[in-house]
Copies of this chain bind each other. A is one copy, B any other.
Amino acid sequence: MIIVLKPGATQGEVDEVDGKIRSFGLSSHISRGVERTIIGAIGDERKMDAEAFEGMECVEKVLRILKPYKLVSRDFQKEDTVVTVLGQKVGGDTIALFAGPCSVEGRDMMVGIAERVAAAGATFLRGGAFKPRTSPYAFQGLGEEGLRYLAEARAATGLPVATELMDPRDIDVVMKYADVIQIGARNMQNFRLLTEVGKLDKPVILKRGMSATIVEWLMSAEYIASQGNRQIILCERGVRTFETETRNTFDVSAIPVVKGLSHLPVIADPSHAAGKVGLVAPLAAAAIAAGADGLMIEVHDRPEKALSDGPQSLKPDAFRDVVARLTKIASAVGRRVGNA
């Protein structure tokens, strides 16, 4: 950590900063420049709180040298993490393909879509039983009933099931049915929930918050990892910007950036990023080209009647066609898409 003092800092102030650094167990190096005095803290800066220095009168700014996350960093683990569930992998040569409806709306609907997406090459099923909805008056999901239909869909297809957990009080019921737990964008900094899933022995998809920096996203992954659960899958789903032609702005750069900073697999959710069905295929292709380890795509048999996210859901036939296109892109980067 580098602490830059304001012009005119006194010797007493320099000593105060120096003393505080030592109180954290680090040593310091003082450098008096032409315009500013700069103090470097030598040792593991993660033990020190930058704010402790920013709160001092004489300090102009504090610059961090090290990354604030550790367990999830590429520095900590060189080789890629591969998450395996019921024989399906996320990470490695095969691009994982999560597909299914936004919300589970009924048994036949869920099982029917599951069979269609499985036939088209999906390797994981997705479907929401607990739904975070902006309006209190909108459909909130079927709850445990929805989870049961997901389990039936798993039984019918053999594919593992990913579903969202919104509340620590639902852990038991969700654990009973789900193979992969999803933490939604709005809960990326629900730290209590992160702490709880960190204690589970079940893979977790951590969606990026809609205004989360990449560092904050990795810090949330660190929350989970710090409790013991290292089976973490990051999911880019678009960030919030001023642009209104798309629901969110899909941050495709985040994929290679995260692959550089962390050993965790990264998947992309082009359905939520775009909010428009016509953009799902080009964004999915872009994600694969940029190095994504998987895709999460919404599929609905009757999007115009969907209880949520209709505008961005593909029909099963369209999904099959999209997978065919993606297969070529994947091949160009030396990978394959799901079971297609």
Contacts and interface: CB of A to CB of B under 8 A. Distances in A.
Interface stretch (A79-87, A146-154, A173-181, A216-224): A216-224
Contact of A240 (B132, B134, B211): B211
A56 interface: yes
Interface residues of A, number: 108
A189 interface: yes
B305 A282 contact: no
Interface in A68-110: 68, 75
Interface stretch (A119-127, A155-163, A199-207, A254-262): A254-262
Contact of A38 (B40, B251, B274): B40
A172 interface: no
B226 A253 contact: no
Nearest to A190: B190
Nearest to A46: B137
B192 A309 contact: no
A278 B252 contact: no
B226 A137 contact: yes
A129 interface: no
A63 B2 contact: yes
A163 to B, nearest CB: 15
A246 interface: yes
Nearest to A327: B332
A150 B223 CA distance: 28
Contacts of A34: 42-44
A279 B194 CA distance: 30
Nearest to A188: B186
Interface string A264-280: 00000000011001110
Interface of A: 2, 4, 7, 20, 29, 31, 33-36, 38, 40, 42-44, 46, 49, 51-52, 54-57, 63, 65-66, 68, 75, 132-138, 140, 166-169, 186-187, 189-195, 210-211, 213-216, 219, 222-223, 226-227, 239-246, 249-257, 260-261, 273-274, 277-279, 282-283, 285-291, 303-311, 313, 328-329, 331-333
